[in-house]
Structure 1
């Protein structure tokens, strides 16, 4: 008997959608077997966890009206009805009575890990977690659970969710007016970039089939390759968009998969991509929890190069996806078996879409460890060394004798686990060259038998093996107990003894902000070491990063991915951004005013460029926020405002009729050109 999988309003035998290709082994069940659970549609029975909460209620009303098949929900301790649907006290009971295919988790970050675990235990096929700031060690524990089963698939955390435009099924908080049933599949890290990409393909008349937001977390439950595997066998998807950013290696994994796909497929579906963070501040977390580079990880340009080499069309702004994909699809014939020269049709159009961006200053080439991450807690080196001493790890000053080597405990994003990071490099300017990861199981801990391999890779003497193991065990214990995300040390070997001569320690501040855990570590923060403007912005939930150099365009953007891309695309147009500023995915008039206040403190700024895509944010509200800032702050600088998305016409009209020195646009390139012109006067 062939088990049936319902696919967006119809049922299809599993053999017809090549589910065997989703698994690494036909005999061994694994988490990879759950990739097929991403194929949501009109058939998908959805429940909400945290159903009676304010946000869940509002979202459920919208999703029901749109056509999502919500069959009930869960709120602990409650039984009855909500929105005319069954309300149950536990996920297990909901699974037994309502038989859901998917659950949307709408609870706060400190409650989300327990909610995810409850859904895994109930074996709900698709789990969508939208919460931001879930502690990274909670996610490490959850991934160690997911790896042991083959029933549940996780989307998120820190993700807008997943949505089928064809099947009218939304599990998340995507802006519904942007979507149109069609033939483009999208897999993205950034919410705001995916929304603008959706709007672009809608304007181009292409529409969307399935959109998977993997999210901007350090450890997402679904990655790009998972999404690509779904789109490969989805008859509704004819073209694919991939939206990545700095952090991790998922884009490189996708490039390798695409190379193989194009070799083994006579008529491959066209793929276009965008990578945010080409101009990211070195070593900084660019808004998203996972948007930073760990030792041994590639930068944005490396990701672009790998995707280009795989035959992917690269664009430099999401607004260009629609026309780019329309051109690519003009050479694609669904179901055709004719042979095509790999990459030919895509490469012809590539350089008309975007031009390559290269670092122009030495500061952009600095290694990540030379700077300080924000939104995670880095502590002073002397405090880090004190923690090592308290753990009985051999710490000393560098005497000048012995080669310096890198030894760290961090996160392996590919394996979704902690790892030892080692490099024999002794060049202080490039300590991460040659960094290699040695992953280990989060629950089982570090396996001492791996010490020999690490010692050999570090080119240590055999006599240093025992001393090395002591240092590794101390670092691992500290990593686990204090919820670190990176404990990076510089070690030297002297007469068989491994000593730590330098330390760079980063801890997950979400553990404190969301759950009040690790208060002692959080107390080690020294705000006097940080930028005053960045601290001021942080109080209002705004992520502001002052960029080095002679940038003269202040940027104000909603959403981390869009903020990164705004800096990149401005540079591509010949402009120089002075800052990165993310107001948050749901900007308000007040946060817009606060953002102006922060930007205006930078004397380099000659013009302010407001780039808003109204997904959850309303264009008219942003426009009123801009007017409010002008009046209350008595601004003298010109402001260029680009508003697209929800209520864009209303917002543009408010700006145009204000009588203030404001310049309203809906096209990014026109707005960027105006901002550059005003900045260079």
Structure 2
């Protein structure tokens, strides 16, 4: 669990102060490199650049590419003011708009307010840097799998200037429904102009949120995709500052998930905002990841809980304590926002839109149960990534950097310590991580982070603060010097080998004060190799024999598949149940939330009409799923003997609902589906997807509404027969027989 609020605030202040010192020292060097403004202010000064609208002039980097072209056509038809684009070294015309050879020339001739970067991951960081150098006010990067070290270097540049603001990476982008300005790949038919601002980590959960509002007759003002990367160019607090002063925004929605501390920081900001504001705008939120597998990265690169970071439960609690209205699924936001806006006295004649053709019946259920993590908290486990190596491999790597490790001593001194290098997400930089105990996983509240600039390495002040926290003030001078050398050596290895985390435990010998280094833990960024083909020597150390066949098959298909541990309450005499739910979802955030809600409705709900059950797995097909991907997903799900029913929950953005439907049909042909299948399709091409399923004449139960689909999944998993009918209100009425 997180430290208490006052301690959390203290740590945040320490981090901000450290960043301010770094900013001052780096101002001159940045000006020399990028010809920035003469007065170096700060990255926070770029927050107003997020307020896009009709006035926003947009360019595309990678303008002539296939995806950029298709996206630009849609955005232009919708009303986005795209004024041209960039193709390196080329000039000409595309879609009737000018193509220029560089971002700088585009800035000079087209004078854009924003750029959308539509290039592959291995080109994206160079494109972002080019846009910063040209001082484009708003830079939107949608690509995922950008190497972490590339992004830390980018943020070290951003932190020392006050011209350019970044949204992303690994984000759906930013969109103004009122101003008809889209910079990203959001599903346009879902959006409608209105007065509710949204900021989200998850793309699919943000689309669910938007769809719920639109069906309820409430449109959106500005929607900011924070994105699911380890480090976000724009976070919740940045977006909240925009919504606070935006005249078009009358209410706010936050969509969060496990990983980092951005939600807790948002809760602190909201508490202060409500304290200083007479009539604060109402705020609602949803958090995903309560049922996340311990120690696993849940789809998004940043969806994992680091040492001392909060769980989904602590994020939920922090926002709830700040007076935020919490929901358990974004489909509820429509009715919830209507209710809280009515109570706040908002003018519904102004808020409601003429959206009758887009509205659907909205199922309003009773107050949600408080989400709870039913599986063990991830704080006590270490992250499992493709490049998490063995102790022996770690020792060999560290030895090459003059760090000699040894087995843990049989008799440890009373004073043990934990130190290393990792990422400070809020500071958007690397940091020294330290704890005055060799067991920080059991005592996470003792963990501290001391950020430093990526380009200059650990600062003297950061090292001094870390040593003080390690409680080594009275250690011999030689021992302190050895620890300083260790920190710098770890940093050298960390940077050269592109690690995410590099930590060791250490103790001072009671006999001669020698430094004993043991229990090394190295975690490397697989995106560096997969996207940019760097670190091949590290990547080659992967031991594929340790991976299950399903893991290898999922990886080859670009699927994130994680079997979940069966809750103890469902095991009878130690035996695994045979009534769990196989989930197939597009988007990591939606996949996490689907598992959360299944647990709430079907496992922890005392009013459930069916025997208890829950999800058997996390499965994210990814944003670019194909029919073949869906077929492979079914194969993975049905290989689990615990699964009795398959639940396909799709909200289409880039993923097309008709393509998903074709994949389901392909699975019936190729895999031989012998379990009931429940499908819920929303979003891009949803009507076409339903037609495909209807015409196939297969035993598939299709639903529009999420809650109806969940009830049917629960019924099928229980093996209870039912008669079904539809009430006048449009809700599924089930009569057990």
State TM-score, norm by structure 1. 0.91
Higher relative contact order by CA 8 Å / sep ≥ 6: 1 or 2? 2
**Does structure 2 conserve the Cα–Cα contact (< 8 Å) formed by 1:452 and 1:465?**
no
Cα distance, 1:360 vs structure 2: 3.1
**Alignment CA distance shift 1:449-1:189 (3 Å):** closer
1:192-211 aligned within 5 A: 192-211=204-223
2:563 equivalent to 1:563: no
* Structure 2 residue corresponding to 1:388, chosen from 390, 398, 404: 398
Equivalent residue, structure 1, for 2:7: none
* Structure 2 residue corresponding to 1:669, chosen from 680, 687, 707: 707
Deviation sequence 1:467-511 (CA, Å, 0-9, x none): 211211111111011010111222222143322210121111111
Deviation sequence 1:541-571 (CA, Å, 0-9, x none): 0010111125711110001110111111111
2:592 equivalent to 1:580: no
2:265 equivalent to 1:253: yes
Cα distance, 1:351 vs structure 2: 11
Deviation sequence 1:581-628 (CA, Å, 0-9, x none): 000123221111010011111111111111011222222221221121
2:506 equivalent to 1:491: yes
**Does structure 1 conserve the Cα–Cα contact (< 8 Å) formed by 2:395 and 2:404?**
no
* Structure 2 residue corresponding to 1:650, chosen from 668, 685, 688: 688
2:554 equivalent to 1:554: no
Equivalent residue, structure 2, for 1:605: 643
Q: Tell me whether 615-624 or 321-330 shows the greater mean CA deviation.
A: 615-624
C-alpha distance in 2 between matches for 1:431 and 1:283: 16
Equivalent residue, structure 2, for 1:679: 717
Equivalent residue, structure 2, for 1:358: 372
**Does structure 1 conserve the Cα–Cα contact (< 8 Å) formed by 2:293 and 2:378?**
no
**Does structure 1 conserve the Cα–Cα contact (< 8 Å) formed by 2:187 and 2:654?**
yes
Deviation sequence 1:255-282 (CA, Å, 0-9, x none): 0000011111111111110111111111
Cα distance, 1:425 vs structure 2: 2.8
1:108-187 aligned within 5 A: 108-187=120-199
Equivalent residue, structure 2, for 1:640: 678
Equivalent residue, structure 2, for 1:46: 58
**Does structure 2 conserve the Cα–Cα contact (< 8 Å) formed by 1:451 and 1:465?**
no
**Alignment CA distance shift 1:632-1:450 (3 Å):** closer
**Does structure 1 conserve the Cα–Cα contact (< 8 Å) formed by 2:88 and 2:102?**
yes
**Does structure 2 conserve the Cα–Cα contact (< 8 Å) formed by 1:440 and 1:447?**
yes
Cα distance, 1:677 vs structure 2: 2.0
**Does structure 2 conserve the Cα–Cα contact (< 8 Å) formed by 1:324 and 1:353?**
no
Deviation sequence 1:273-324 (CA, Å, 0-9, x none): 0111111111111000111111111111000000000000111111111111
* Structure 2 residue corresponding to 1:37, chosen from 49, 63, 74: 49
**Alignment CA distance shift 1:426-1:93 (3 Å):** closer
**Does structure 1 conserve the Cα–Cα contact (< 8 Å) formed by 2:423 and 2:431?**
yes
Cα distance, 1:429 vs structure 2: 5.9
* Aligned residues: CA RMSD: 1.9
C-alpha distance in 2 between matches for 1:109 and 1:441: 23
Q: Tell me whether 195-204 or 484-493 shows the greater mean CA deviation.
A: 484-493
1:197-236 aligned within 5 A: 197-236=209-248
Equivalent residue, structure 2, for 1:528: 545
Tell me how many residue pairs correspond in the alignment. 639
C-alpha distance in 2 between matches for 1:496 and 1:447: 25
SS at match of 1:367: helix
Cα distance, 1:428 vs structure 2: 7.3
SS at match of 1:606: strand
C-alpha distance in 1 between matches for 2:553 and 2:382: 20
2:495 equivalent to 1:480: yes
Cα distance, 1:393 vs structure 2: 1.4
Equivalent residue, structure 1, for 2:484: 469
Moved over 6 A (4+): none
Cα distance, 1:532 vs structure 2: 2.2
**Alignment CA distance shift 1:158-1:55 (3 Å):** same
C-alpha distance in 1 between matches for 2:649 and 2:446: 39
Equivalent residue, structure 2, for 1:618: 656
SS at match of 1:378: coil
**Does structure 2 conserve the Cα–Cα contact (< 8 Å) formed by 1:467 and 1:496?**
no
**Does structure 1 conserve the Cα–Cα contact (< 8 Å) formed by 2:450 and 2:465?**
no
